[in-house]
Amino acid sequence: MGPWCSVDVGRVLLNPSEPPEPRQTCGRGRGANTVSWRDSDKQQCKTPRGWVAGDVVRQCRRVGAPGPVVPCVRCLPHPHPLFGLRARARTSSSWQTSSLESAYKSAYKSESALPPCPALLFVRPTSQRHTQTHRHPYTHTMAADKIAPNDPRVERKQAEVRGKTYSYLYSKPEGTPKGTVVLIHGWPDISLGWRYQIPFFLSLGYRVVAPDCLGYGQTSSPEKLEEWSLKSMSDDIKALCDQIVPGEQIILGGHDWGGALVWRAAMWHPDLIKGVFSVCTPYSAPTTAWFDLADIIAAGHLTNFKYQLQLRGPEVEEKLTKPEDIRQFLQGIYGGRGANGELAFNTDRGVLFENLGKIGPTPLLSEEEISYYTDNFVKSGMRGPVNWYRTRRINYDEELPLAEKTAAEGGDYKVTPPSLFILASKDTALPASMAAGMGKHFADLTRGEVTATHWALWEAPEEVNEQIKQWIESKVDKKPTASL
């Protein structure tokens, strides 16, 4: 493929504040290296990576060139990342081998200096876009699309499930959904924790369901601790899906405690699940041996879980009650620091109450988002969220028959649905060592990794989303190969 758009590359890199002028004005019938375009408020641009219908306001095609529509720099609506402004782009890290990729790399000579490829942009009309800037591993700033609190792209719904009320975010793509993705958040989080992933799954054509988990947001917080076991909450997921998408197999994803829950849901309800993925949380198999967490830590193991001793006790539930303290706790656990580097939380002690008044804003949430989070945690309180840390013995007792059966058969229990685990390399609570050897417990495990802390969904959304996309395409929705 020849030059798909005639742009002065030097000016793009050296003066990104101005839209670059093409060497030839875009227009119909001006030679092999020019493009034509047509304006439209709502039309689908079918680029090599696939754009969302209705999100693109202009598209163009190189005159006389067969194949997919390829937008040029001159024809794309602004803002545009080549101009140093905000848009979503997929860069060389997510390119597929193609003549377009080769031409683009050739034009820039050095892969280390690649800006986002204009043919791989995801641009929303300004009125619909909610973005936050992130640093990309290459040389430029990226912005990932995300939903906002009370975003018109999602609905807040409720369902009565096994005697409990579950509140959840619900969103459908344009047209008929190709399937359903159910997203389970962790601690301390809410359904909005998937704000960077919900638009992504919609762009792939999936319906999205993201519940507030038990004890969070507008979901029930039952008194009986047995309701908080991983098996009981797995049964809740099954019952919720039976209401929303009866008879359908789902893709189930989780983060943090949500990751632990989706592994168990795949264990207890494998027929429900078409594919299962966890970000940050490795799989741990059911075991016949019981050890209390305090004894394990005292023996020098799982010292990264020391904070859980505080969370399962009464201190956090009793002390984190005032709205200003809850807000400061959330600011700190989401990366906020004091003027002298003070922390609000660490894995050795848990919540550092003496530092809460010193903590500055989180770099990961906007003012609107942190206020929304605070309101949700003030309403729900902290008893529900910390109850997840109080069921270790209940989980063990419920899983013991399965562990004994597996041991008697002399094998390893295997999670049967196609599975994806994405490690966050800088996660101090869930380090890489915890994932060692987990592959033997899976029939089909794909492993990924991102350079991020525990909040990988927000720190590296493009990388997380791309790894999920590749896994879905290769393992979950792969088309059977025709035999000759």
- 3-state helix/strand/coil string of 88-144: EECCHHHCCCCHHHHHHHHHHCCHHHCCCCHHHEECCCHHHCCEEEEECCCCCEEEE
Co-location of 35 and 133 in the same domain: yes
Whether the upstream peptide bond of residue 79 has omega within 30° of 0, thus cis, is: yes
Over residues 22-34, the mean pLDDT reads 32
Lowest mean pLDDT across 41-55, 246-260, 321-335, 337-351: 41-55
For the question of residue 292 being annotated catalytic, the response is no
In this predicted structure, what is the pLDDT of residue 263? 99
In this predicted structure, what is the pLDDT of residue 413? 86
CB 291 within 8 A of CB 263: no
Write out the E strands in 406-463: 419-424, 445-450
- For residue 372, pLDDT beyond 50: yes
Co-location of 40 and 181 in the same domain: no
Q: Kindly state whether residue 28 falls inside one of the protein's structural domains.
A: yes
- Percent of the chain exceeding pLDDT 70 equals 69
Over residues 165-177, the mean pLDDT reads 97
Query: Which of 72, 17, 61, 67 has its CA nearest to residue 36?
Result: 61
DSSP-derived secondary structure for 383-410 = HHHHHGGG-HHHHHHHHHHHHHHHHHTT
In this predicted structure, what is the pLDDT of residue 480? 55
- For residue 203, pLDDT beyond 90: yes
- For residue 86, pLDDT beyond 50: no
Co-location of 405 and 265 in the same domain: yes
Report CA Rg, the chain: 24
- 300 φψ region: left (φ > 0), alpha (ψ -120 to 50), beta (else): left
CB 114 within 8 A of CB 69: no
Angle between helices 257-268 and 230-244 (to 10 degrees): 70
- For residue 207, pLDDT beyond 90: yes
In this predicted structure, what is the pLDDT of residue 404? 95
Co-location of 124 and 180 in the same domain: no
Where residue 184 falls among pLDDT bands split at 50, 70, 90?
very high
415-451 pLDDT per residue, tens: 999 999 999 999 999 999 999 999 999 999 999 999 9
Dihedral sign, CA of 399, 476, 142, 43? negative
Over residues 70-76, the mean pLDDT reads 36
Over residues 272-286, the mean pLDDT reads 98
In this predicted structure, what is the pLDDT of residue 479? 60
Q: Pick the catalytic residue: 80, 136, 441, 454?
A: 454
Co-location of 136 and 161 in the same domain: no
- For residue 483, pLDDT beyond 50: no
What are 464's two structure tokens?
């997380």
Beta-bridge partners for 253: 183, 277
Co-location of 221 and 163 in the same domain: yes
Domain boundary residue, one of 114, 145, 176: 145
Domains identified in the chain, total number: 2
The CB density around residue 29, as the number of other CB atoms within 10 Å, is: 8
Where residue 143 falls among pLDDT bands split at 50, 70, 90?
low
Regarding predicted confidence, which is higher, 172 or 17? 172
Which residues are CB-contacts of 482 (< 8 A; sequence separation ≥ 6)?
none
Q: Kindly state whether residue 260 falls inside one of the protein's structural domains.
A: yes
Place of tokens 């969904």: 457
Q: Which domain holds residue 275?
A: 157-292+389-475
- For residue 406, pLDDT beyond 50: yes
Report the mean per-residue pLDDT for the chain.
Answer: 78
Co-location of 78 and 171 in the same domain: no
Co-location of 63 and 99 in the same domain: yes
Q: SS3 of 32, please?
A: coil
Q: Quick one: 166 exposed, middle or buried, by C-beta within 10 A (0-12, 13-18, 19+)?
A: buried
For the question of residue 256 being annotated catalytic, the response is yes
Domain boundary residue, one of 125, 145, 165: 145
Element holding 235 (H helix, E strand): helix 230-244
Co-location of 184 and 87 in the same domain: no
Element holding 467 (H helix, E strand): helix 461-471
- For residue 93, pLDDT beyond 50: no
- For residue 338, pLDDT beyond 70: yes
Regarding predicted confidence, which is higher, 459 or 77? 459
Place of tokens 């003549």: 99
Over residues 289-311, the mean pLDDT reads 97
Q: Pick the catalytic residue: 256, 269, 427, 441?
A: 256
Co-location of 171 and 134 in the same domain: no
What are 345's two structure tokens?
């939380």
Which residues are CB-contacts of 414 (< 8 A; sequence separation ≥ 6)?
441, 442, 443
Lowest mean pLDDT across 133-142, 240-249, 350-359, 374-383: 133-142
Lowest mean pLDDT across 1-10, 104-113, 414-423, 427-436: 1-10
Co-location of 161 and 131 in the same domain: no
Co-location of 94 and 207 in the same domain: no
Q: What CATH number does residue 208 fall under?
A: 3.40.50.1820
Lowest mean pLDDT across 182-186, 409-413, 467-471: 409-413
Phi, psi at 40, each rounded to 5° = -160, 145
- For residue 38, pLDDT beyond 60: no
